[in-house]
Structure 1
């Protein structure tokens, strides 16, 4: 994935890709972003610092709760998401090449079960 991102001119690692993807698809907290990217919350904060410095996202304090932050993609971040989403699609297509739709569905179901099994051992 990182190689495809680099070929497309984006200097992003996989955790940054997952973070941008998560923000593009939902409003979420630092804790939820960390969970999605399999990072410690402190590491996620540092990752967010880097993405914010690049103008990809913005953190805004909640006016009703000083401890809470609203994190969202900037216009530039949305544009990057549209491009890197295509990178993700190309990587998925390459990985699933030669599989029919039934095989793809079966693989997805098995991988989701593996993920769920692993998550239940770490919760």
Structure 2
């Protein structure tokens, strides 16, 4: 049984719990959108495609950092996405020991289809906020992130 306080957090719930719950709901909503389209992807695989589409080809370790996965988990995800024809591993131009991960034409086409899903989920998540509140929320979360990353 799910603890009611986790489903409907109290207003004084900790920032960490609230951020975790928001992330969980975004993951759930995005996976529901993917399933409704008949696309067999998990949220992590969606993120990998999104990062490659937005940032371009990169090494597996760069991609792992971008989606916060360890090396083993990234290898499994890349194997699955490569098996589905959405990405390929290519020799790195400057480092012959490394591989570059890039989207295939099929991966690019899928990303174009998924862009609308991503926007729908994020729009739904913010539907109760005014444009000003959305900007403030983005600003606040960016500042929190920078504060956490700042080691000085």
* TM-score for the superposition, normalised by structure 1: 0.88
Kindly state the Cα deviation for residue 62 of structure 1 after the two structures are TM-superposed.
2.7
SS at match of 2:97: strand
Which residues of structure 2 form unaligned runs of 5+?
Answer: 1-29
Gaps of 5+ in 1: none
Greater relative contact order structure (CA < 8 Å, 6+ sep)? 1
Larger displacement relative to structure 2 (112-121 or 12-21)? 112-121
Report the Cα offset of residue 65 of structure 1.
2.8
Provide the rounded CA distance (Å) in 1 between the counterparts of 2:148 and 2:81: 29
Choose 1 or 2 for highest CA Rg: 2
Q: TM-score, normalised by structure 2?
A: 0.72
1:28 alignment partner, one of 58, 61, 70: 58
CA RMSD of aligned residues (A): 1.7
Structure having the higher strand fraction is: 1
What is the number of equivalent residue pairs in this alignment? 121
The answer on whether the counterparts of 1:8 and 1:87 sit within 8 Å (CA) in structure 2 is no
